[in-house]
Chains A and B, each alone.
Chain A
Amino acid sequence: MSDGPPMTLRVSLPALPVSDSLIRDRLRQWLRALRWPAGQLGDVLLAASEAVSNSIDHAYRSRVPGLVEIEGRLRHEGRGYRLVELMIRDYGAWRPVPTNAENRRRGIPLMRACMDEVSIEGTEHGTEIKLRSRSVPPPLTGRLD
């Protein structure tokens, strides 16, 4: 029996601007291996990128960046439907959002529009954003073990 694509994803990187792109690359690679439909794949990348860039922009006050981590998990929903759950985490204390931060005004609505569920939990120890994607139907051709 051949190995199927991995059911989980885990990436941990310094919270630097380039990590937004690196994490998207990994996530895209993972979802393509899972044969995610293109439209939904784009939505997952968009939402995840917003969550990651929140950490990059706000999490760490010092000049040495802390980590931003993303965990992804595939869930089976029955009749071949699947969804992914993502957790984006940092360990910093978010700086207060500046009032002219246009990004932040759009980032959270974008996450909510692209995902079925979004939860944002922040404490002085860090922030965790959980994203639950829409369910996608099984790919039309071939079996996915």
Chain B
Amino acid sequence: MVERSFGEPAAEQLVDISRQWVDGAVVVRVAGELDTLTTPRLRQAVAEALDDAAGAVVILDLTKVTFLGSPGLAALVEAVSKARRRGGPLRMVVDNARQVIRPIELTGLDDVLALYETVDEALAH
């Protein structure tokens, strides 16, 4: 368990988000927790990635997400709407991490989100 004293919390410590171009697509890698505190960073990262991509494919790699609650789910749904408005595909990579798949399936979002098992699959689509 990570020791963390109250009063020094920072969203940057709980979630790590990076972005890079891979084979003509923008890949955003998310590692850590997506909850009340950290979800605003995901929203910001998605907005920046969509700007950067300018219509190219955007891939959200969620394989290293350790917690996904309803704030995170809401952000993923918003990301899909945003991407649609800009006309570029948005794909999400979830492999078989239970803590990511379960909330998505329990809320029926597996019908709404374009889900892939690996970044390679999402790139190759």
Which A residues lie at the B interface, using CB under 8 A?
Answer: 13, 17-18, 20-22, 24-25, 28-29, 38-39, 42-43, 45-46, 49-50, 53, 56-57, 102-104, 106-107, 109-110, 113-114
Contact = CB atoms under 8 A, between A and B. Distances in A.
Given A20-B36, A106-B74, A39 B98 contact: yes
Nearest to A114: B106
Contacts, number: 78
B113 interface: no
A103 B78 CA distance: 11
Secondary structure class of chain A's binding surface, majority of residues:
helix
Nearest to B107: A106
Contacts of B37: 17-18, 20-21
Contacts of A107: 69-70
Interface of B: 1-2, 4, 6, 9, 14, 33, 35-38, 67, 69-71, 73-74, 77-78, 98-99, 102-103, 106-107
B53 to A, nearest CB: 24
